[in-house]
Structure 1
Amino acid sequence: MESADTEFKAPSQIGDRSTSDVVVRLRTQEGRDEWLYCHSHILVDKCKYFADRLSENWPTCQILDSRNCVEVYCQESDFDYHVNVLRLLYVVTDGSVDDMWCGVRNAVGILRVAVVLDCPQIVAACFNYLEAVPWEEGEEEEILRIIPSMGVQAEPVLARLQPVNPSAIRGLFLSAIRFATSSPLSHLKDLKSTAQEQLEYMITEDDDGPILTTDDEIKSEVKECVKILFTGFSNLLEAMLCDHIHSNSEEEKLQLFKSHLSDLLWACQILTKMEIMREFVGSWVDASDKIVKVIQQERSTAEMVETKYKVIEVASKVLETIGYGTVILPTTKRLHMLKVWLPFVRVTKPLVDSLTANDEDTVEFKIDGELWQSLESTFVSIVLALPSMDQAEILSEWLENEHIKYPDLTEAFEVWCYRSKVAKRRLTLYGGSLV
């Protein structure tokens, strides 16, 4: 009859000298040297490298103690990973192990060594772990450097990094654009901002190409979504002009108005990148009188100055597309835009400057330092594209205005003077005639 010791043999443990029959000696060129007391039946069963080293076929197997001590040379950076692999040989079963990885980087290091030593169960356990946990960016770079060369077994780990099917990209983009252009709701503000940022990123070409190709179908959907967004803004304008929002306080109305402006400013960015600004420009031109009227009927407060600044941010995008010919408008509409926005901008800029100069640390909204200069150049471009008589009207009003310093139309004035002086001679020279 077998003894109890035979029936219930205690499991082997790494480092147990009393039961160990083989020493693994880890060494580095830097002189690091560590002896680990192991068990041949575990090493042979779970690691092909040690199975070969401990077999009769290994060239040095007949040398005294060669089968009792296996020397393994490694890089200093991989030393701890070798130790971990040896420890894991004692606990990994059927390609799984409890939480012993201590993070993604450690798992990648262990995987690298386990592949070299040919430990299939540890390799499988590493892949299972890496496939299931999130990665930080630096860890992701390490995975991309190591994993792709490891064959079919690595495919589940790399699945989250593979290029996405174009139809899935389109579906996600369309869902996001509909959400990003939905009615402004305060409790969804952060979510909408994130969606808007990522939509812009998806179609931006930087070091990498855009994720999405903006074909006619995509452009049509974007235009429709922005149209709905602008319709909501127009309805708000009408309600504010007629004072129909009795259920909302003045502050709530202003917040809703600002939310719409933020969405419209973002829409300008998207439409400009996709080169489909025409409809938006037309809608803004038609609504310009109402926008200015609404904003001027509100009390002058710091928050109102911020709102006026947001209005100018959107208006500047529209004026820029007009001034540089991205969107072509007839003379009457271009002249109308100047007559609406020149007075508004020249009165608003001193308010913004005063607010930021007096209390710069407490100003909550971000000031674009290049906005005013860019807007001034845009005004000059629009003025110079008008018939000379209309230019004269705009320039006369500018010279008589108390806010002559901004926008400074000196360049337009100089060009107008030159053109006017040489007009008769030039037209005659080239066979034209004066009307």
Structure 2
Amino acid sequence: MYCDDLKRRLVDKEVSKVLGLLKVSAAITFDAGITACLENLESVPWSEEEEEKVISQLQLHDSVSEVLKRVSAEPSTSSRADDIFLNLLIVVLQAKDDKARREMKALISHLLREDASSNYGNHINRLDVSKDALYHLCHGCFSSLVLCLSEAMCVDESKQDRGILTSEISREADNMQWIVDILLHKTMGDEFVTLWADQKELANLHSKIPTMYRHEISRITSQLCIAIGRGRILVPKDIRYSLLSTWLEALYDDFGWMRRASRSMDKKLVEDGLGQTILTLPLLQQQAILINWFHRFLNKGDGCPNIQKAFEVWWRRAFIRQYVAESQLQITVCDIQIETFQ
């Protein structure tokens, strides 16, 4: 209090000590001390632990808006949150440097997960990306993939052309996988299953180009099957069947390349997800798909996903248990009626 230059005396002091002095100064209405402490806090960097202490204490004081500007957004900024996130995602998807693109994808994914699980502050105005923004990016990726596959059908057979094209398709497929991963984490993936099942043009182009160009695209199908198989996506059976009708043959054809080309691919996870997805369908659809798989697996072996566990479940359902839905329903209804009259 008796220092000629209190602001200078606070240089190099720990944030906790400055906060302690601020508390005392406020209690005795020592204006010069309050001003010096606030100027110090506005200027120095804070650790995350110190930040929490600063916010909790300064919210009790008047005239601290300048200090808290580094942690609070203007209402206009919060209202533009979706635009900010959309622009960030677009920049990542269009990045030229592959290593930097992978790092920023990992960073954004980590921050979105951290944001969803954090307990900080008010969740209402949280900076976030909307469903509309993510699906806007999905449609852009669809267009890019169709263009790449169309070009692949006319590609020159030179190694240089093949290498460039393979890289472009892989890049666009990886972009789509990333957006799908975000959608799944945010439980917004239901609509994407329908969109992916409806990509007839893309699937048709996919079937006409060499596997070496296209196998990364089938990883999108495997993502969806894993999510459906785990119950993370809930879509009607018609959509599930349409997904497999459009993309299952492509997944079979590309499976061997997917295994060889991607170290990160979990073979068992994909097989389990695919098998569980098939088992969610009506029994006759299970039968058609699994008998077709049985013949294919005998000819392809490890080049085809091994879903024999699903085959066993279907077999027991079809020939051992022989559950009759209509009879069981009648029994259940009768039981209910008996209990009612009693």
Question: Which TM-score applies when normalising by structure 1?
Answer: 0.58
Cα pair distance change 1:409/1:211, threshold 3 Å: same
Q: Distance in 2 between matches of 1:210 and 1:263?
A: 28
Q: Deviations over 1:354-405 (max 9, x none)?
A: xx6xxxxxxxxxx26xx3332111211233322423432222322443228x
Report SS of the residue matched to 2:244.
Answer: helix
Question: 8 Å contact 1:203–1:210 — kept in the other structure?
Answer: no
Q: Distance in 2 between matches of 1:228 and 1:426?
A: 46
Q: Does 1:226 align with 2:124?
A: no
Higher Cα Rg: structure 1 or 2? 1
Question: 8 Å contact 1:114–1:122 — kept in the other structure?
Answer: yes
CA RMSD of aligned residues (A): 4.2
Question: 8 Å contact 2:287–2:314 — kept in the other structure?
Answer: yes
Q: Which amino acid aligns with 1:315?
A: T
Aligned residue number for residue 124 of structure 1: 35
The one of 217, 224, 240 aligned to 1:318: 224
User: Runs of 5+ in structure 2 lacking a partner?
Assistant: 331-342
Deviation at 1:171, TM superposition (A): 1.0
Q: Distance in 2 between matches of 1:161 and 1:291?
A: 48
Aligned residue number for residue 277 of structure 1: 192
Cα pair distance change 1:428/1:171, threshold 3 Å: closer
Deviation at 1:280, TM superposition (A): 4.2
Q: How does 1:242-253 map to 2 (within 5 A)?
A: 242-243=154-155, 250-253=162-165
Q: Deviations over 1:138-190 (max 9, x none)?
A: 221231344333x203343234434763x633412223214413552315737
The one of 151, 175, 192 aligned to 1:263: 175
Report SS of the residue matched to 1:242.
Answer: coil
Question: Which TM-score applies when normalising by structure 2?
Answer: 0.71
Aligned residue number for residue 398 of structure 1: 297
Deviation at 1:111, TM superposition (A): 3.2
Cα pair distance change 1:352/1:193, threshold 3 Å: closer
Q: Distance in 1 between matches of 2:164 and 2:314?
A: 47
Question: 8 Å contact 1:114–1:123 — kept in the other structure?
Answer: yes
Q: Distance in 1 between matches of 2:58 and 2:323?
A: 76
Q: Does 1:380 align with 2:286?
A: no
Number of equivalences: 313
Q: Distance in 1 between matches of 2:256 and 2:103?
A: 35
Q: Distance in 2 between matches of 1:395 and 1:184?
A: 42
Q: Deviations over 1:1-57 (max 9, x none)?
A: xxxxxxxxxxxxxxxxxxxxxxxxxxxxxxxxxxxxxxxxxxxxxx4xxxxxxxxxx
Question: 8 Å contact 1:319–1:378 — kept in the other structure?
Answer: yes
Q: Distance in 1 between matches of 2:306 and 2:53?
A: 55
Q: Does 1:176 align with 2:71?
A: no
Q: Distance in 1 between matches of 2:272 and 2:202?
A: 23
Question: 8 Å contact 1:131–1:157 — kept in the other structure?
Answer: yes
The one of 415, 427, 431 aligned to 2:313: 415
Question: 8 Å contact 2:219–2:258 — kept in the other structure?
Answer: no
Question: 8 Å contact 1:285–1:337 — kept in the other structure?
Answer: no
Q: How does 1:88-237 map to 2 (within 5 A)?
A: 89-92=3-6, 97=7, 101-102=11-12, 105=15, 107-115=18-26, 119-149=30-60, 151-162=61-72, 165=75, 168-181=77-90, 184-187=94-97, 189=101, 193=105, 196-197=108-109, 200-201=112-113, 204-207=116-119, 210=123, 218-237=130-149
User: Runs of 5+ in structure 1 lacking a partner?
Assistant: 1-46, 48-85, 299-306, 357-366
Cα pair distance change 1:232/1:125, threshold 3 Å: same
Point out the structure with the larger helix share.
2
Report SS of the residue matched to 2:305.
Answer: coil
Q: Distance in 2 between matches of 1:171 and 1:265?
A: 26
Cα pair distance change 1:257/1:169, threshold 3 Å: farther
Report SS of the residue matched to 1:186.
Answer: coil
